[in-house]
Structure 1
Amino acid sequence: MNKPPLIWTNIILFASTFLVSLILVPWYAIAVGFSWTEIIATVLCLGYCGMSITAGYHRLWAHKTYDAHPVLQWIFAIGGAFALQNSALHWSSDHRVHHKFVDQNDKDPYSAQRGFWFSHIGWMLREYQSNTYSDYSNARDLQNNKIVMWQHRNYLWLTILTNFGIPLVLGMLTDSILGMLLSVGVLRLTLSHHFTFFINSLAHIWGSRPYTDQNSARDNGVLAFLTYGEGYHNFHHIFEYDYRNGIKWWQFDPTKWLIKSCSYLGLTRNLKVCPQERIEKAKAQMQLKRAQSRVLHLPDAELTLQKLQHEYDLLQEKLQLYYEAKKSLLQQKKQQLTEQYAGFDLKQQVADLKASWRAQQKQWRLLTAQFA
């Protein structure tokens, strides 16, 4: 079968930046040495590029998990060009196709089922993509966004201005033009590219699947550290309209922290969050599936399966009762239909149901842990 034609612009870009980062950057570090100013500037610019992709391209424009003030959108649009990963319109269109057809080799633009190399970088080296959404028909909302379309129209000169201009300006200010070009210019770009590419490749190969096994996406704390929180990919693929990826307070998700912090400044609003009830149900269902698959070889498999199903049903029942009571309490508070004392019984009921659910959840975890 004939392979699609090569995209030489991408091949030259990726190859040249990788080779300079691999050869010239270490040579300069040994022969001349990078100053702390250059190192700090590189880290800051790397973070700016990365967060423009994760908070801007991904969670704001591709998935619409929140609304952002125009000032923040301008910052992300410039940072996205600095990251050199195509325009926000093109990137978001591709990403929406990926979510719609995840793991389908003939439709997913960077399907992990075609191997690490293809999903990481190979899909950008040849004209693999079909013309299904060449008119960006799956991103009509973004075509009505003036900032997104301005960046799309002016993407080429924006990438040149940022990727050459920013390092040159920093170099002139610190009297280290070559050092800044190598560190902020090339090394930062190479790291920014491959850290982001890890989400398409490693995040679909390496990690756990606590929420769903219907696709290849994985949760991985190491990748989350390298990708500003995007490593919690299993959660993202089942709850893609949640502005968070790491939902626990201790999970490393600086993109979530940035979006939330900006809400206090009036720069973001309408932050979308998946109901906790749905998250808990997805986790419990995966725990049940894993436990069931591990007890089939046991002598008393049938009895154990019945016990698992019974405890699972109890967990779901108590979870449902707790959240229904919680919703009723919230509705009562919003409508202000009763006096303060009238709500006391319902508050106590919610507290009791929560305690009952937590106790059942603990018992469920102890049971399923035997088959982990």
Structure 2
Amino acid sequence: MKKPAILWLNVFVFSITFLIAAIAVPYRAYTHGFDTTEIIAAIICFIYCGMSITAGYHRLWSHRTYQAHWSLRIIYALGGAFALQNSALHWSSDHRIHHKHVDKNHVDPYSAKMGFWHSHIGWMLRDHQPERYQDYSNVRDLQKDAIVMWQHKHYLLLTILMNFGVPILFGLWHGDMLNSLLLLGVLRLVLSHHTTFFINSLAHVWGKQTYTDKNTARDNGFLAFFTFGEGYHNYHHIFENDYRNGIRWWQFDPTKWFIKACQHLKLTSKLRVTPEDKIEKARLSMVLLRNQKKIAAHPNAELLLEKLQHEYDELIHKVNEFYALRKALIASKRDKLIADVENSDIMAQYQEIKRRLAEQQRSWQHMLENLA
């Protein structure tokens, strides 16, 4: 089978920038050094690129998980050009194909089942799917966004202005052009590239399948630290329309925090979240599946599986009851249908259902501990 044509420009850019970052930057650090201002400026530029991809390209444009003010969209568009990862239109088109056909080799642009190298960077070094560069039918909604189309039309110019202009301007201001080009230009770009690429590669092979095993995506808190919260990838692949990836308060997701903070500044709106009962039922279904596999070879497997399924069914019933009543309670408070909600019958029912759910959760946990 004939291999796809090599994209020599991509090979050149990725190779040269990596070699400079790996050789020239350490050599310059050893022989000349970088001062604190230069290092902080490089970190700020790295964060700007990363957040433009995660908050802009990914959660805003690819998945439409919230709406953003035009000023914020311009910031994302410039940051995306700075990150040098193609236009928002093209990036979003590729990403929607990835979600629609995840893990399907030769359809998913960066299928993890084609190996780590392919999903990380190899898919961009050969012309695997040339038709992608002509067909934007899956992003017609984005073609109505004037800022997206402005960036797409002037993408090459914007990448040159951002990737050379920012380091040059900083170098002129700070007084060391070479240091600026190496840190803010090359090293920042290489780190931005490969931390983003980790989401396509490592986040599909390393971590836990917390909510679904229907695809290779994994949840990994360590990766989340380097990818601005994108490491909770298993959650994202089952609930892609949620503006959050790390849904727990303790999970590192600065992209989520940034989007939420911008809501208070009236820069973002209509933030979409997944109902908690759907999240909990998805998590419990995976707990059930893992334990079913664990006890499949047990001598009393049939009896244990029956008990496990019964406990699971009871827990799901209680979860449904609890969240249905909680929704009714919230609606009552919002609509002021009950004069004194805290002393109402619905509150009493809510507290009783909450108690029963806690008892069922303890029973479920006890069952799992006995199976361990």
Shorter-chain TM band: over 0.9
1:152 shift after superposition: 0.4
- 1:186-201 matches, within 5 Å, as 186-201=186-201
- 1:132-171 matches, within 5 Å, as 134-171=134-171
RMSD: 1.4
Per the normalisation by structure 1, the TM-score is: 0.97
CA distance in 2, matches of 1:175, 1:136: 44
- Structure 2 counterpart of 1:348, which letter? A
2:272 corresponding residue in structure 1: 272
Misfit runs of 4+, over 4 Å? 369-372
Per the normalisation by structure 2, the TM-score is: 0.97
Relative to structure 1, is the Cα distance of residues 18 and 133 closer, same or farther in structure 2, using a 3 angstrom cutoff? closer
CA distance in 2, matches of 1:124, 1:341: 58
Q: SS in structure 1 opposite 2:140?
A: helix
1:298 shift after superposition: 1.3
Which is worse superposed, 166-175 or 233-242?
166-175
The question of whether the paired residues in 2 share the 8 Å contact of 1:246 and 1:252 is answered with yes
1:63 paired with 2:55, answer no
CA distance in 1, matches of 2:342, 2:71: 46
The question of whether the paired residues in 1 share the 8 Å contact of 2:60 and 2:68 is answered with yes
CA distance in 2, matches of 1:132, 1:369: 50
1:306 shift after superposition: 1.1
- 1:50-89 matches, within 5 Å, as 50-89=50-89
2:122 corresponding residue in structure 1: 122
- 1:170-249 matches, within 5 Å, as 170-249=170-249
1:255-274 CA-to-partner distances (Å, cap 9, x unmatched) read 00000000011000100000
CA distance in 1, matches of 2:45, 2:58: 18
CA distance in 1, matches of 2:342, 2:190: 62
Runs (5+) with no aligned partner, structure 2 = none
Runs (5+) with no aligned partner, structure 1 = none
1:350 corresponding residue in structure 2: 350
1:341 shift after superposition: 6.0
1:30-84 CA-to-partner distances (Å, cap 9, x unmatched) read 0001111111111110000000000000000000000001111011000000000
Q: SS in structure 1 opposite 2:274?
A: coil
Q: SS in structure 1 opposite 2:34?
A: coil
Relative to structure 1, is the Cα distance of residues 192 and 310 closer, same or farther in structure 2, using a 3 angstrom cutoff? same
1:87-109 CA-to-partner distances (Å, cap 9, x unmatched) read 00000000000000000002100
Relative to structure 1, is the Cα distance of residues 269 and 22 closer, same or farther in structure 2, using a 3 angstrom cutoff? same
2:257 corresponding residue in structure 1: 257
Relative to structure 1, is the Cα distance of residues 287 and 158 closer, same or farther in structure 2, using a 3 angstrom cutoff? same
The question of whether the paired residues in 2 share the 8 Å contact of 1:287 and 1:368 is answered with no
1:111 corresponding residue in structure 2: 111
- Structure 2 counterpart of 1:22, which letter? A
1:333 shift after superposition: 3.0
Identity of aligned residues (%): 58
Relative to structure 1, is the Cα distance of residues 342 and 55 closer, same or farther in structure 2, using a 3 angstrom cutoff? closer
1:289-337 CA-to-partner distances (Å, cap 9, x unmatched) read 0000000111111111111101101100100111111122223334433
1:133 shift after superposition: 7.2
- Structure 1 counterpart of 2:289, which letter? K
1:357 shift after superposition: 1.4
CA distance in 2, matches of 1:356, 1:227: 39
CA distance in 1, matches of 2:118, 2:270: 36
CA distance in 2, matches of 1:7, 1:268: 38
- Structure 2 counterpart of 1:191, which letter? L
